[in-house]
Chains A and B, each alone.
Chain A
Amino acid sequence: MKKGTSLLKFLTRIEGLPVAAVLAVLYGVLIIVAPRVFTGFRIYMSFLQTVPPVLVCALGLTLVITAGEIDLSFPAIVALSGFIFAWVFKKFDAPWAPWAGFILALACGALVGYINGLLVAKIGVPSIMATLAAQFFWYGATILLANGLQLNIKDVTTSIVHTIFVGRINIGQVPVPMQAIWALGLAIFLWFILNRHKFGEEIMFIGDNANVARVMGIDVVATRIKLFTVMGVIAAFAGLLLTLEINVFFPTQGSGFLLPTMAAVFIGGTSIAGGLGSITGTFFGAYIIGSLEAGVVATTISGYWVQLIEGIVMGASVVLNIIIEEGHIATTFNRIRHWVRPDQPNTKYEGN
């Protein structure tokens, strides 16, 4: 038994493992219930195509929540950046237009994020209020600028920007969507930023206790502004992936992103209290969220079940995360053993 618990302890050290396990179980169940759909590669390719925009937002939001803040404005940035790209692309019929649109869209994301950061860090508006207002404002601005109309950019498919960011790359025989590769790359990059970079460490300490961060010489205001700016750029990137993939900008794009994105972050084990965040967890969390709906529909259960099952999976993931969190697993194990065989002494778990 001793050996068993130490193996379990070792496993819990691997970041994001419980969430990955939930994802594996989910796919396992789906393969059994809907083998025709889930044994071919096409359903997985479609996940790799649809999940990245939400995943990218969720990666950024993980940093924000780790810092003890929240950003509700990213869906509006997804719309705004899509509009800016599509508008520039249509307006200037030149080979540089897609690049200009791309860079301008990212810059606008940075600007929106920077303004959020100023409101939160300089003026002291609670981030939930500041970014909620920003969400309304920038959606409103986007609808006004676009006159409420969608922009069709079918020609973009021939541009090199399209190929680079949402084209298909053959890995073996399988055409993998490029956006999935970009999202994976961003996840790896942000993992290093959060866990191995000064900026990430500052984010964790600010989220843990801003007073401690301050007395240890961290510029809390500047770091918060930087954080919201980064979030703005990341959300704009997500908007670009979405617009490029579907070849069209529509004014309400991104409006359904808020809840799935937050769910992905929390399923992944990032603490709402701040101070701790898991990029790996968010990565798998986003795929859990993104696979659920299509998965449930594919099982031919009535569509009415979708939300209920989503709720169960989310709840189960979060509970699993809390139980498996460092130190809790052995106590939980002991307790279960005690329930099963109450005659045995309930050995006290000793922290390492």
Chain B
Amino acid sequence: MAESPVERNALRMVNIEKYFGLVCALRKINLEVGSNEIVGLIGDNGAGKSTMVKILTGVFPPTSGEIYIAGNKVDLRNYNVKRAHEHGVETVYQDKSLGEKQVLWRNFFIGREITLPFGFLNVKKEKEIANEIMVNTIGFRGKGITVDSKVSKLSGGERQGVAIGRAMHFEAELIILDEPTVALSLKEVAKVLNFVHKIKEAGKACIYISHAMADVYEISDRFVIMDRGEIVADMAKKEISLKALDEFLLEYSHGMKDKVEL
């Protein structure tokens, strides 16, 4: 992070809490993501990972706490998916990032269309830019996939590539990958990881949520482990080996580990 004189985080969450009625889903979450850092977010089902993602992407607001994106404070009362996009938070979901029956160029610009007067689409421009993203950002070359192909013709890995390419095109500060490799074959997982490397190369920040420990370990700079609504560990890659990380988590899920002091 030597390139910027003022140290700037892509994301800073301060004391974020979320209650659903009396049930506490997130307790005192403090998380920072550096401007070109890939953070692997790990945790069992129900640990609060997806609640956190939903707060970050504007699906619902937190009960209390503050969020700063690229140094700008987020107005949480007026926060929604569109605002999240404006702040530069882009999310790639396991399965709900793309409209299956729609052609690729529409998928790149859905919700953020390039329009002519009266809301008509500038199809020519959208196709041009979509093609540019596919060739240069994602590197789909000579695979018989064009901007006019339907998403249903793409493999799982390619779909995630399209979603990641779209996120990068829209100048994301922070790209959240919510279990992007679930239900993919090994070959497709490799493709997705390759796309994640491109996020890093492009100088963006990323939160990578996954169960697949080997994937998370390979691409992350830092690991954040959540359990029952709290962050229980936060460590840099150099502090821990994959084997140690695995054992740590295994012990955790068996309830043998007490809370690690941060």
Using a CB–CB cutoff of 8 Å, the interface residues on chain A facing chain B are 192, 196-199, 201-202, 204-205, 208-209, 211-218, 271, 275-276, 326, 351-352
Nearest-neighbour CB distance to chain A for B168, whole angstroms, equals 16
Instruction: List B residues 51-99 near A (Cβ within 8 Å).
Output: 57, 59, 80-82, 85, 91, 93, 96-99
Q: Which 8 A-B pairs have the closest CB atoms?
A: A217-B111, A216-B111, A208-B99, A275-B101, A217-B81, A217-B82, A198-B119, A211-B96
Residues of A within 8 A of B97 (CB): 212, 215
Asked whether A215 and B91 contact (CB < 8 A) given A197-B119, A197-B121, A201-B121, the answer is yes
- The answer on a CB contact under 8 Å between A351 and B153 is yes
Say whether B120 faces chain A, with CB atoms less than 8 Å apart: yes
A-B contact pairs, 17 of them (CB 8 A): A196-B123, A197-B120, A197-B121, A198-B120, A204-B102, A205-B106, A211-B96, A213-B99, A213-B111, A215-B59, A216-B111, A217-B112, A218-B111, A275-B99, A275-B100, A351-B153, A352-B144
Who on chain A is nearest to B101 by CB?
A275
A215 touches B121 (CB 8 A): no
Select which of A199, A211, A218, A275 is within 8 A of B110 by beta carbon: A218
Q: Shortest beta-carbon distance, A204 to chain B, in Å?
A: 6
Would B110 and A205 count as touching, CB distance under 8 A? yes
| Residues of chain B whose beta carbon lies under 8 Å from any beta carbon of chain A | 57, 59, 80-82, 85, 91, 93, 96-102, 106, 110-113, 115, 119-121, 123, 144, 149-150, 153
Chain A residues, Cβ within 8 Å of B59? 215
Q: Which residues of B contact A351 (CB under 8 A)?
A: 144, 153
B102 partner residues in chain A, CB cutoff 8 A: 204-205, 208, 275
Task: Name the CB-closest residue of B to A13.
Answer: B148
Bound: A198/B109 CA distance, A: 10
Residue of A nearest to B118 (CB): A197
Cβ-closest chain B residue relative to A201: B106
* A218 contact set on B, CB distance < 8 A: 110-111
Check A205/B99 contact, CB under 8 A, given A196-B120, A198-B113, A215-B57. Answer: yes
**Contact (Cβ within 8 A) B119 A208:** no
Closest to B153 in A: A351
What residues of B have a CB within 8 angstroms of the CB of A202 in the complex?
A: 110
User: Are B110 and A216 in touch, CB under 8 angstroms?
Assistant: yes
CB distance from A218 to the nearest CB of B (A): 5
